[in-house]
Amino acid sequence: MIDVYLLEQSGLKSSEWDEYVNSSPNGTLFHTRKFLSYHGVGKFEDASLVFRKRDKITALLPATVKSVGNKRVFVSHPGASWGGFVADDYLKHRVVEELVSKLIKQASKLSCDRIELTLPPHIYQRAYQDDIPFVLIKNGFSYVKRELTSVVDLKQDLDTLVNRAVRKGVNKATRQGIEISYENNDWSDFYDLLTKTLEYKGAKPTHTLSELLRLKELFPESIVLWCAYLEGEMVGGMCSWLVNSDTWLVFYSAYNLEMTGDRILDLLFHSFIDYYKFRGYRYLDFGTSSLNMQVNRGLINFKEQFGGYGHFRDTLAVDL
């Protein structure tokens, strides 16, 4: 029989949690305590779970409890892009059934009225199986969000991946003298450019500059900044995260709004894809191209020019 414990009552150290995540076939940076703890103590009511059988870890589940109106919701950690179960191998179907049953009982024990889980796209599951969503649905869960994230398969030939418009854009940006700085540290200028880019779109960065710098300090090899310069001035940039051993996630990109026709991002993304493809990485995840099932057609068209194609980032929920 599988037993379930809140992390703080399990006796499992944060370092042991992260060691398990990093050695698992479906754990990502977003599942680690190192990432989740950067938010600081007290910001979230942590409800992360440890599942054990005969003192051996069966699975981990990062989560919090949050208040929505007068309801308590057990939710995938809101400080991360996704959550879901982490296990060290394929899970037998009967084990998944027991994990979901224990999850529901634990959420009820925490006086929660609802459970919401956001699952990673399939590319992050090297032990890929659909037993988990199957069993969730069988236990009353339903899809409340199915967003599309655009993924580039880096095993394909680069000339096959990018279309003619991108190649022309790369040539134009190169002729203009735009230069790419690989794995840059000019975070302050990038953040200023990012803020202006998002303000134009009616949005703002998810992180403050100090939070980004803190994350870079925590994950120096896994968070990289690439920038584009013209005559010494930053005109574009992209912040990407290595979220598992073979997949990069584009978290932020920005460009000089007065140079929209100068194909800055074409050169940036083309250079990035070429660089990490050559080094044997498997995927580039461009991030979501939809919001509440409404596709941003300009955004998804741009990503498709680089060979991006859609994968679901699913959120399932059940009222208890």
- Find the range with the poorest average confidence among 102-111, 181-190, 236-245: 181-190
The domain segmentation of the chain, as residue ranges, is 3-146+315-319, 155-281
pLDDT at 41: 64
The CATH number of the domain covering residues in 155-281? 3.40.630.30
Range 187-194 average pLDDT = 96
CB atoms within 10 A of CB 131: 17
Task: Write out pLDDT tens, residues 158-186.
Answer: 888 899 999 999 999 999 999 999 888 99
Residues 6+ positions from 30 with CB-CB distance below 8 Å: 36, 62, 77, 80, 81, 82, 83, 120, 243
Task: Write out pLDDT tens, residues 26-43.
Answer: 999 999 999 998 876 667
DSSP 90: P
pLDDT at 79: 79
pLDDT at 46: 93
Range 84-109 average pLDDT = 95
Range 34-62 average pLDDT = 89
Are the beta carbons of 17 and 60 closer than 8 angstroms? yes
For domain 3-146+315-319, the CATH architecture is: 3-Layer(aba) Sandwich (3.40)
Range 312-319 average pLDDT = 96
Task: Write out pLDDT tens, residues 121-161.
Answer: 999 988 778 999 999 999 999 999 999 999 999 999 888 88
Are the beta carbons of 55 and 156 closer than 8 angstroms? no
Q: What is the pTM of this model?
A: 0.92
| One fold for 3-146+315-319 and 155-281 | yes
User: Any alpha helices (H) in the chain, and if so which ranges?
Assistant: 7-10, 14-23, 33-36, 93-109, 131-138, 158-161, 164-175, 187-200, 209-218, 264-278, 297-304
